[in-house]
Chain A
Amino acid sequence: MEKFFKYTLTILITSVAVLEFYQVVMRYIMELPVMGLDEILVYPTLWLYFLGSVNACREDTQIKANVLDIFLKTDRARLIVRVIADVMSVLISLWLTWWAWDYFSYALRVWKESPTLYIPTFYAECAFFIGMALMTLYTGWYLIKNARQLIVTSQEVRSH
């Protein structure tokens, strides 16, 4: 997985930069503006956004504020808060994934094409649902992991 994300994300973010740069060079130096480049850019861009976010879920590096942690003294209390947060995350993520599925099936049905090159936009649009579904899976995985950890810690507390 680590390798997959490392290479895929590098290719995606680099290709976005290179395509934009190519546009400037062609327009300013060669005076030959490239038609439809914006349309092509949408694909790596959207996959970059969603796969990047999936990776943030996988690495557990999503943006968080954890204000309560400042006031909590024990690891167990922190773990309880974490599990509550994970439960909320999974529920919300499921709801969002469901709407993303709604969008996925809509996009599949109307099958839009980009305005000048007529590339089906579905291949970018499907990133939304696939991304959300994977984010839910990874969030759920952390929920299970942290819940088990909590059970273990609670048992240890009780046995002491």
Chain B
Amino acid sequence: MEIVTVSLIALGLLVIMLSFGVPLPFCFGGALMTMVFMGGATMKGTMVWGFSQLANPVLLCIPLFVFAGTLMSESGIAASLLKFVNVFVGRIRGGLGVVATVSCAIIGAISGSGLTGVAATGPILIPEMASKGYPRGYATALVANSSILGLLIPPSVTMIIYGWVTDTSILACFLATMGPGLLITVLFSVVNVIMARKFPLVLDPPKPMKETVQEGVTMTSRAIPALVMPLIILGGIYGGIMTPTEAAAVAVIYSLPVGFLIYKGLTMGTFFKAAKNSATSVGAIMVMIVFSLMLSQIFVMEDVPQAMVEAVFTITQNKFLLLILINFLLFFVGMIVNDITAIILLAPLLLPLMGAIGVSPVQFAAIMGVNTAMGGVTPPYASILYLSMRIGKVEFSEVIKPAMILIIFGYVPVVFLTSLWPKLSLFIPGLFGY
């Protein structure tokens, strides 16, 4: 059988097992079995290879960023950032929604994953928004969608992984998703202000100027230990003090004294709980990654990437159409697997195609970054949306409609702009000489 056919069968089975609720690592294991029993691939030496990949220091950024994110929400760091942003935009109509988006963007400059925003701001913001007249489903959808900015505002785990698997400068990849990330922040804020007109919002009575200024000073000074974090992390990375992985470790260590002593959100109890929960998510993610890496390696050994490029070129060679096609492909993949796995599987597969049509690896980083980030909120596999539903205590049916509105008006335009307008992703890296 043609290797492309077998690969498609393997991926098809993966989707079937996934929809039955087979844990993701085993779904990849099943796809591996298909490649071995139907495609004649061998597992000999693949475990050795997989283990060595898993031991790669670059992957260490994942556990560290997951842990840092959990500590940030438990410690009260995120909450103080939220109150800080609220001072500036909280008073305008629909302002609380803007607070959600902007806070998630700022938290994004500390955290490397898409889960931190919702985990940290959701428990505070969703009830608060609901009490002020926002529909609960809408509040949840907005926080979930904004939370993804954690992957687009540097640092970002997905971009570290992309840089690693494609041998592209990680710092350039970080900056590539920044333009799209900022644009999404603006779009969400605008969409929110428009949507807010229809909601029966309860507005705070205007306070006297003096009180407002006083509150601003208090909240800002309370927020300083938290605001220092992005400075340490991004300053540390771009200032030549540490590597992105080390920055994640510094974020973990920094949040300990701040969480235990300043914001006092951390106690021994919450710390152990945070550590155990982080380690469990990390384990689930990493074992899934090792098997997706093995599947990707089997694809490389069987020359699937070249066969794919040839197959795609028989459909069309038009750059514009190809980019649209790839966006659709990434959208569907984003529906069924998580961001890191999508990048591990697809970046090496598609990069040769991008080279052939003249899309730079850095722009492609942004294309993959935006698409895979969006995957976090597109069902059926929508980890970030599900987490926010749990936090917001809402049903799927309440959250899906506002989520779709935000995706269509916030994400989709940016996804296409990133593909078709290289400047959006390449301008900021260009400023830094990439």
Contact = CB atoms under 8 A, between A and B. Distances in A.
A–B touching in complex (CB under 8 Å): yes
A132 to B, nearest CB: 9
Contacts of A56: 23, 280-281, 283-284
Most chain B beta-carbon contacts within 10 A, residue among A24, A69, A96, A139: A96
B282 A17 contact: no
A48 B281 CA distance: 11
B276 A65 contact: no
Given A17-B64, A131-B287, 8 more contacts: A6-B272, A16-B60, A28-B242, A46-B54, A55-B276, A65-B336, A68-B19, A69-B21
B399 interface: no
B260 interface: no
A20 interface: yes
Interface in A12-34: 12-14, 16-18, 20-21, 23-24, 28
A118 to B, nearest CB: 17
B20 interface: yes
Given A64-B21, A67-B18, A88-B20, A5 B47 contact: no
Interface stretch (B143-151, B179-187, B246-254, B314-322): B246-254
A101 to B, nearest CB: 10
Contacts of A70: 380, 396
A81 interface: yes
Interface stretch (B26-34, B83-91, B96-104, B412-420): B26-34
B286 to A, nearest CB: 4
Interface string A40-58: 0110011011111111110
B250 A45 contact: no
A71 to B, nearest CB: 10
A17 B23 contact: no
Contacts of A23: 246
Nearest to A106: B48
B29 A82 contact: no
B338 interface: yes
Nearest to B36: A95
B57 A100 contact: no
A149 to B, nearest CB: 15
B282 A49 contact: yes
B288 interface: yes
B17 interface: yes
A52 B275 contact: no
A85 interface: yes
A16 B286 CA distance: 15
B26 A5 contact: no
A17 B338 contact: no
B253 A17 contact: yes
Contacts of B291: 96
Contacts of A55: 276, 279-280, 283
12 contacts: A17-B67, A20-B245, A20-B248, A48-B63, A49-B54, A56-B284, A64-B24, A70-B396, A89-B23, A95-B33, A128-B47, A139-B23
A13 B250 contact: no
A10 interface: yes
A51 B283 contact: yes
B381 interface: yes
B276 to A, nearest CB: 5
Most chain A beta-carbon contacts within 10 A, residue among B22, B248, B291: B22
B60 A53 contact: no
**Range of interface residues on B (Cβ < 8 Å):** 35 or more
A20 B280 contact: no
A156 interface: no
A35 interface: no
B196 to A, nearest CB: 30
Given A67-B380, A70-B380, A70-B396, A85 B20 contact: yes
Contacts of B431: none
Contacts of B338: 63
A54 to B, nearest CB: 7
A139 B25 CA distance: 12
A61 B280 contact: yes
Contacts of A6: 272, 276
B357 interface: no
Nearest to B341: A63
Contacts of B46: 99
B192 interface: no
Interface in A101-148: 102-103, 106, 124-125, 128, 131, 135, 139
Given A9-B279, A66-B21, A21 B249 contact: yes
A5 B276 contact: yes
B280 A67 contact: no
Nearest to B17: A88
A62 interface: yes
B378 to A, nearest CB: 12
A45 B57 CA distance: 9
A84 interface: yes
A45 B242 CA distance: 20
B24 A59 contact: no
Contacts of B380: 65-67, 70
Nearest to A38: B57
Given A17-B67, A21-B253, A64-B21, A49 B286 contact: yes
Contacts of B64: 16-17, 20
Contact of B19 (A42, A65, A93): A65
Given A41-B57, A125-B51, A63 B24 contact: yes
